[in-house]
Amino acid sequence: MAESILELAKKQVVLLDGGMGTELIKNGFTPGACPESWNLVKPDVIKSIHSAYYAAGADAVSTNSFGGSKIKLSSYGQGERCYELNRAASELALEVRPEGCYVVGSIGPTGKFLKPMGEYDEEQFVDAYREQARGLADGGVDFILIETQYDLVETLCCIQGIRQATDIPVFVTMTFNKTPRGFFTIMGVDFPKFVEEMLIQGIPAVGANCTIDSKDMAEFVASMREATELPIIVQANAGQPELNPDGSVTYSQPLEDYVGYLPQIVKNGANIVGGCCGTNPDYISAMKKILEKD
């Protein structure tokens, strides 16, 4: 692609897509199954989700590979299919990508902990992420977004693994909770410490996703901007999940309230925005209309 997404972000606010899991559930996905397996068994569903986000106005959509590390896939008995599932994730998104748009290779956490809290060492994490990145890169993604990380050491393992597999750009977002002392990950990492490490690693764009709603994210962006001049990526949750009597899940922040904070998120310094859990193409369409007005 002639223009990188970072070049585009210098000229306008870039719009990412919203939640993948929410859309999978709408299409019959059952909890406990492997989301990435649908890249092979239900590819048309995955392509339809990507197409809906592009049609809503997203400049970039994320591959269905959030839990696609070899370690995470092993919990479903799919570890040996890591490369295949991630390459398929990339190829499906590329098949429906409109001219001038982008495909983001999504990489989430392993869901496990490093020693001494867990059973894995750093090299095992690096290896798991390297295999995932190789599949995404060979499938043709434009860049990789490491997202929803909470452990800085795991994040560094992920960066190392990716860079052993490919030289395509890597962006990073962690997930922070709002506390009386400010915003921290569950492992106690604050944004300035995160940025400090990302600058050492040469990461060109950083930010936050998941956990908090758009109201809290607007507040958080202001402090992010004080900590860095790098492009900031923001993907807030649509509030908190709520279990309904019929077993379905809804999120506490309605669309109108969610998008109502977008102008402040942008004013406070976000360069790349999108949605996370609970958001869908309707949220992205509403965000697009707001961005077009500014």
Structural contact between residues 283 and 258, judged by C-beta atoms closer than 8 angstroms: yes
Token digits of residue 246: 């019929």
What residues are paired with 145 via a beta bridge?
Answer: 106, 171
Nearest to 203 by CA among 185, 228, 184, 220: 228
What is the reported pLDDT for 242? 85
The C-alpha angle 256, 56, 67, rounded to 5 degrees, equals 90
Token digits of residue 2: 């002639």
- CATH code where residue 38 lies: 3.20.20.330
What is the reported pLDDT for 2? 53
For tokens 């992010």, what's the residue? 224
Tell me which H or E stretch contains 236. strand 232-236
Per-residue pLDDT in tens (0 to 9) along the chain, 294 residues: 457 999 999 999 999 999 999 899 999 999 899 999 999 999 999 999 999 999 999 999 999 999 999 999 999 999 999 999 999 999 999 999 999 999 999 999 999 999 999 999 999 999 999 999 999 999 999 999 999 999 999 999 999 999 999 999 999 999 999 999 999 999 999 999 999 999 999 999 999 999 999 999 999 999 999 999 999 999 999 998 887 887 678 899 999 999 999 999 999 999 999 999 999 999 999 999 999 986
- Residue 202 lies in domain: 5-293
Nearest to 281 by CA among 14, 54, 105, 106: 54
Phi and psi for 172 in degrees, rounded to 5? -140, 130
pTM beyond 0.85, yes or no: yes
Question: Alpha-carbon torsion 284, 280, 148, 122, what sign?
Answer: negative
What is the reported pLDDT for 66? 98
What is the reported pLDDT for 246? 74
| E strands, the chain, in order | 14-15, 60-62, 102-107, 143-149, 170-174, 177-179, 182-184, 206-209, 232-236, 241-243, 249-251, 272-275
For tokens 């290779």, what's the residue? 105
Number of H helices, E strands in the chain: 13, 12
Number of domains in the chain: 1
The per-residue b/e assignment along 77-95, b for 16 or more CB within 10 angstroms, e otherwise, is ebbebbbebbbbbbbbbee
What residues are paired with 144 via a beta bridge?
Answer: 105, 170
